[in-house]
Amino acid sequence: MKSYILATNKVWNIKAFMSWRSKLDGDWEICVSPHDLVFASKSIKPRFVFFPHWSHIVPRDFLEVHECVCFHMTDVPYGRGGSPLQNLIVRGHKETVLTALRMTSELDAGPVYLKRPLRLAGTAHDIFQRAADLGMEMIQEIVQKEPEPVPQLGEPVLFKRRKPEQSKLPTDGDLYTLFDHIRMLDAPTYPLAFVEHGDFMLDFSQAILKDDEITARVSIRKK
């Protein structure tokens, strides 16, 4: 029986895996830290190592030894790089694809196994949960069919990873721009949209746009 590793440090991916586990062939290990990953990869010799959402650099020698599959929320080579969800919404995209690609030493540049449509409606958390379920469906297909990844075609368009200070609410634009700014940051572990007010920070989440008005939850904290 073949063995596999799921490496992720996001709760929504772990929840999605647990709901899909009975449908997946093989033996599985979940790794939530680089230490877990190194230990598991030495003990079970995985056929694939899947990275649905990972916040750590994977060493080049690890990539050379194991067939590693990551999931990127753009139609690569468009949108290679950091903060794909936020960069897509800022650019006005309503839909995208979730791409499963082989990890190489060049970020998001590896050959592609699968691409599947993904809606960008709702909060960042909603979208990440939707992507987590879709990613498990794609993992199941890769495990069953072991497709040969195909090289990317076209001129790359690179995204830059957003910085925390970019979460500050915009001071111009329209209500739709403001609504998108709040929702695209609304997920656990992400810096929420905010404004500064004297010694305080006001964080915005759970935004609803209706009848030319935005209502949102506001949390106030000291700087």
CATH code at 98?
Answer: 3.40.50.170
Q: Among candidates 88, 87, 99, which has minimal Cα distance to 131?
A: 99
pLDDT band at 94 (very low <50, low <70, confident <90, very high): very high
Task: Give pTM, 2 decimals.
Answer: 0.93
Q: Is residue 219 within 8 Å of residue 202, measured between CB atoms? A: yes
Dihedral Cα 23, 24, 26, 28, nearest 10 deg: -120
pLDDT at 55: 85
pLDDT of amino acid 182? 98
Domain limit, last residue, from 124, 142, 159: 159
pLDDT at 5 over 90: yes
Q: Which of 109, 126, 159 is the endpoint of a domain?
A: 159
Same domain, yes or no, for 32 and 47?
A: yes
With residue 144 as reference, give the H or E element that holds it: helix 124-145
User: CB count, 10 Å around CB of 72?
Assistant: 22
What is the rounded distance in angstroms from the CA atom of residue 52 to the CA atom of residue 73?
10
Distant-in-sequence, close-in-space partners of 173: CB < 8 Å, separation ≥ 6: none
Mean pLDDT, residues 142-156 = 97
Give the per-residue pLDDT at 199.
96
